[in-house]
Amino acid sequence: MMTIAIIGSGAMGSGIAQVVAMAGNKVLLYDTNEAALGRAEKNLLSTLDKLASKGKISNAQATECAQNISYVGSIAGLAQAQLVIEAIVEDLAVKQEVFGNIEAVVAKDCVLASNTSSLSIASIAAACEVPERVIGIHFFNPAPLMALVEIIPAVQTREGLADEVKDWVSSWGKLAVITKDTPGFIVNRVARPYYSEAIRIMEEGMASCATIDAAMVGLGGFRMGPFALMDFIGHDVNYRVTESVFTAFFFDPRYKPSLSQKRLYEAGYLGRKTGRGFYNYAEGAEQPIADTDVALQQKILNRILVMLINEAADALFLNIATAADLETAMTKGVNYPKGLLAWAEELGWANVLQQLDELYNYYHEDRYRASGYIRNKIAVG
């Protein structure tokens, strides 16, 4: 069992605290904001109570988990940590300063991790005296419920640390995948077309949000259609992730954000949480009806699917992760009905390439360029 310090007791930090404490580790939960720390304690105790009363965990487990967590108001209180997981505001300068402060109090062999979604781990490690011990450990929200964790070694990270961290993450009951330190890591990169191609289809007037959602759920077997999912995630979060991946990829058109979504974000129509996004959630609001034309729905599914497959293939082509980790990330991280590479095998790679090339030839946009992985695959049979 380890002593794990968690910096930041917001949505992610308190969720991560619950995960690692439940697995029997001692947690030092630290926040500069006393009120946030108090809220985290109250919420964690109430969550454990609820889990125990529903029979999901025993009373003894709830008590042990609660006792494993100490709420720490000063950084000096983190000295015993063997691992630090930082989950504070997504701001590089603030994170760099905090990493510097942590290094001054913890032991030389303490591993320092960031839960960042969009910053490079290399840029965080660069602020440290011992950058070899810095790594990304990226949880998904809500951390206690989401099975996947992405592990991101930076160029500075010492050889072997990613595998050690993978063992720790597995001991917390999570599925760990290892990915390169590139924008969006695996999930937030490969999943982009699920949103952007769906919006593009809607913007072109090919089909409505309701029809596209119906195609992806009904024919594709996805848990939620892209528009319902974006409304659920919130356009503030989803749009900003798209914009940050696009910027970080030097404005590669494949990741271009959509104006329709930006306008919703600007208008404050953030989705479910504000009562309005692509759909209207007001009580009694009329809900749009999907077009049941199967040929149209199939065309929609194929177009979004080949774009997703292209993204997964390209991530493999560029050695962002192993094929197995790519499949695990998309099926366990975002609950896709099948791994995208397996799906491509089923459809036939030649068929996938033909559809991508048709889109490319029609639009003459770089967005639709097929990955070299797919062309190689066909060239070698």
Position of minimal CB gap to ligand NAI = 10
Q: Which of 69, 98, 190, 353 binds ligand NAI (CB under 6 A)?
A: 98
Q: Which residues contact 49 (CB under 8 A, 6 or more apart)?
A: 62
Active-site residue identified among 9, 25, 114, 138: 138
**Candidate ranges 42-50, 81-89, 214-222, 317-325; the one touching ligand NAI (CB under 6 A):** 81-89
* Intra-chain end-to-end CA distance of the chain, in Å: 49
* 13 sits near ligand NAI (criterion: CB under 6 A): yes
Q: Which residues pair with 114 in a beta bridge?
A: 86, 136
The CA distance from 273 to 232, in Å, is 8
Q: Judged by CB, which is closer to ligand NAI: 240, or 369? A: 240
Do residues 314 and 339 make contact, with C-beta atoms less than 8 angstroms apart? no
Give the torsion sign (CA, 378, 197, 90, 15).
Answer: negative
**Candidate ranges 31-39, 120-128, 222-230, 335-343; the one touching ligand NAI (CB under 6 A):** 31-39
* 57 sits near ligand NAI (criterion: CB under 6 A): no
The CA distance from 278 to 358, in Å, is 29
The CA distance from 16 to 172, in Å, is 10
**Candidate ranges 30-38, 62-70, 251-259, 274-282; the one touching ligand NAI (CB under 6 A):** 30-38
Coil vs helix vs strand at 188: helix
**Candidate ranges 49-57, 62-70, 90-98, 167-175; the one touching ligand NAI (CB under 6 A):** 90-98
Q: Which of 4, 5, 6, 7 binds ligand NAI (CB under 6 A)?
A: 7
* 43 sits near ligand NAI (criterion: CB under 6 A): no
* 94 sits near ligand NAI (criterion: CB under 6 A): yes
Do residues 198 and 259 make contact, with C-beta atoms less than 8 angstroms apart? no
Q: Which of 23, 81, 84, 87 binds ligand NAI (CB under 6 A)?
A: 87
* 36 sits near ligand NAI (criterion: CB under 6 A): yes
Q: Annotated catalytic, 138? A: yes
- SS3 of 43-101: the string is HHHHHHHHHHHCCCCCHHHHHHHHHHEEEECCHHHHCCCCEEEECCCCCHHHHHHHHHH
The CA distance from 215 to 222, in Å, is 9
Q: Which of 43, 57, 70, 90 binds ligand NAI (CB under 6 A)?
A: 90
**Candidate ranges 89-97, 255-263, 335-343, 364-372; the one touching ligand NAI (CB under 6 A):** 89-97
Q: Judged by CB, which is closer to ligand NAI: 2, or 237? A: 237
Cβ-based neighbour number of residue 274 at 10 Å: 16
Q: Annotated catalytic, 283? A: no
Q: Judged by CB, which is closer to ligand NAI: 85, or 340? A: 85
Do residues 119 and 241 make contact, with C-beta atoms less than 8 angstroms apart? no
Asked if the peptide bond before residue 142 counts as cis, ω within 30 degrees of 0, the response is yes
Q: Annotated catalytic, 117? A: yes
Residues 133-162 that bind ligand NAI (CB under 6 A): 139-141
Smallest distance from the beta carbon of 103 to ligand NAI, in angstroms?
14
Active-site residue identified among 188, 238, 244, 258: 188
Give the torsion sign (CA, 298, 302, 304, 308).
Answer: positive
Hey, which residues are catalytic here?
Answer: 117, 138, 150, 188
In the complex, the residues that contact ligand NAI under the rule CB under 6 A are: 7-13, 31-33, 36, 87-90, 94, 98, 115-117, 139-141
